[in-house]
Amino acid sequence: MNPSIARDAPAPETEQALAVLHKNALRADLLGRRKALGDADKLRAEQRIGQRVVDWCVGSAITSLAVYQPIRREPDLADAYNALAAHGVDLCLPVVVGREMPLEFRRWRPGDALEKDAMGTRVPPAGTAVVQPQALLIPCLGFNEAGFRLGYGGGFYDRTLAGPVRPLAVGVCYGFGLVAFEPQTHDVPLEAILTDVG
């Protein structure tokens, strides 16, 4: 092997570090774009995404779905949740139960009481029934053409999807979240990503 070629090839650790830096830069940019999104544009996007979520659930005969409570200007899909509940879909919300653990899902219906967890996310209180949903609705900060999600970097959904029982996983994201990045070994692709543009 030519020693100069071997020296020029980046070490796997370096490639991994560069991938993390790239993802962090994308996260900062996408969070800035979310923050800059006007209220009227945000509402229009939420209505389009919400309708696509309802259409997907009905068309896919989904009977139980994990939804989310929005943070950091994620799409607020409360109207879609109401429509799904009225259609007979059982809903639940994700709960972080440990730093390196998969998510737990607790039964929830629109209007049920919620409390804030340690990270400030609204969740059903302890003691609420734990369920295994048929499908997960996952908020994405960004996504790539191959269906890999860019989240906040905690890995909670990746660990959940890598578990022994894999539910269907569908992302929701603003259309401007389509970005280019290489997935890392722990990243798990989603079945579909629903946006305000398609």
Check residues 10 and 143 and name the one with the higher pLDDT.
143
Q: What are 180-192's pLDDT values in tens digits?
A: 998 888 888 999 9
| Domain residue spans of the chain | 38-195
E runs forming strands in the chain: 64-66, 90-95, 104-107, 115-116, 122-123, 135-139, 142-143, 149-150, 168-173, 192-195
Q: What is the mean pLDDT of the chain?
A: 91
Q: From residue 106, give the alpha-carbon distance in Å to each of 41, 95, 97, 132, 169.
A: 32, 7, 11, 9, 17
CATH number of the domain located at residue range(s) 38-195 in this protein? 3.40.50.10420
Q: Does pLDDT of 104 surpass 90? A: yes
Classified as helix, coil or strand, 64 is: strand
pLDDT given for residue 11 in this prediction: 58
Separation CA 109–CA 95 (nearest Å): 15
- Mean pLDDT of all residues in 95-123: 93
pTM: 0.88
Q: Identify the pLDDT of residue 8.
A: 54
For residue 2, pLDDT over 50 is answered with no
The confidence band for 153, taking pLDDT boundaries of 50, 70 and 90, is: confident
The DSSP letter of residue 183 is: P
Q: Please give the average per-residue pLDDT across 9-15, as a whole number.
A: 62
**From residue 37, how far is each of 51, 76, 132, 164 by CA, in Å?**
20, 13, 34, 38
pLDDT for residue 14 is more than 90:
no
Is residue 5 pLDDT above 50, yes or no? no
State how far the Cα of 42 lies from the Cα of 4, in Å rounded to an integer: 52
pLDDT tens string 79-99: 999 999 999 999 999 999 988
Summarize the confidence of residues 50-74 as an average pLDDT: 97
